Chains A and B, each alone.
Chain A
Amino acid sequence: MEQIFFYILAAVVVIATLMAITARHTVHAIIYLATSFFALAAIFYLLGAPLVAVFEVIIYAGAIMVLFLFVIMMLDTGKWEKAHGPTFAQWWPALLLGVITFGAMFALFTVKTPESLAGWSYIDARQFSLILFKRYGVAVEVISLQLLFALVGALYLGRRKKQ
Chain B
Amino acid sequence: MIVPLTHVLILAGIIFLMGLSCAIAWRSNLIMILIGIEIMLNAAMLAFVGGGAYWKLVDGQVFSLVIMALTSSEVSLALSMVVYLHRRKRTVNSDEFSAMKG
| Residues of chain A having any CB pair with chain B under 8 Å | 2-3, 6-7, 10, 13-14, 17-18, 20-21, 26, 29-30, 33, 36-37, 40, 43-44, 46-49, 51-52, 55-56, 59-60, 63-64, 67-68, 71-72, 74-75, 77, 80-81, 84, 86, 90-91, 93-95, 97-98, 101-102, 105-106, 109, 113-121, 123, 127-128, 131-132, 135-136, 139, 143, 146-147, 149-151, 153-154, 157-158
Q: Which of B54-72 contact A (CB under 8 A)?
A: 54-56, 58-59, 61-62, 64-66, 68-72
CA distance A85 to B84 in the complex (A): 23
B52 A26 Cβ-Cβ under 8 A = no
> What 5 pairs across the A-B complex have the smallest Cβ distances?
A150-B73, A94-B21, A21-B22, A94-B24, A154-B80
- Known interface pairs A26-B29, A94-B20, A109-B10. Does A51 touch B2 (Cβ–Cβ under 8 Å)? no
Besides the known contacts A6-B2, A47-B52, 10 further A-B residue pairs in the complex with CB atoms under 8 A apart: A2-B2, A3-B2, A6-B7, A20-B39, A67-B75, A93-B25, A98-B20, A116-B1, A139-B66, A147-B72
- Known interface pairs A147-B73, A150-B73. Does A109 touch B80 (Cβ–Cβ under 8 Å)? no
14 contacts between A and B (CB under 8 A): A17-B15, A33-B35, A48-B52, A51-B61, A60-B68, A64-B72, A71-B79, A75-B83, A75-B92, A109-B10, A113-B4, A143-B69, A153-B80, A154-B77
CA distance A17 to B42 in the complex (A): 11
Chain B positions within 8 Å of A30 at CB level: 35
| Residues of chain B having any CB pair with chain A under 8 Å | 1-11, 13-15, 17-22, 24-29, 31-32, 34-36, 38-39, 42, 45-46, 49-50, 52-56, 58-59, 61-62, 64-66, 68-77, 79-84, 86, 91-93
- Known interface pairs A63-B72, A75-B92, A128-B61. Does A119 touch B25 (Cβ–Cβ under 8 Å)? no
A115–chain B nearest beta-carbon distance, Å: 8
A13–chain B nearest beta-carbon distance, Å: 7
- Known interface pairs A29-B35, A150-B74. Does A46 touch B21 (Cβ–Cβ under 8 Å)? no
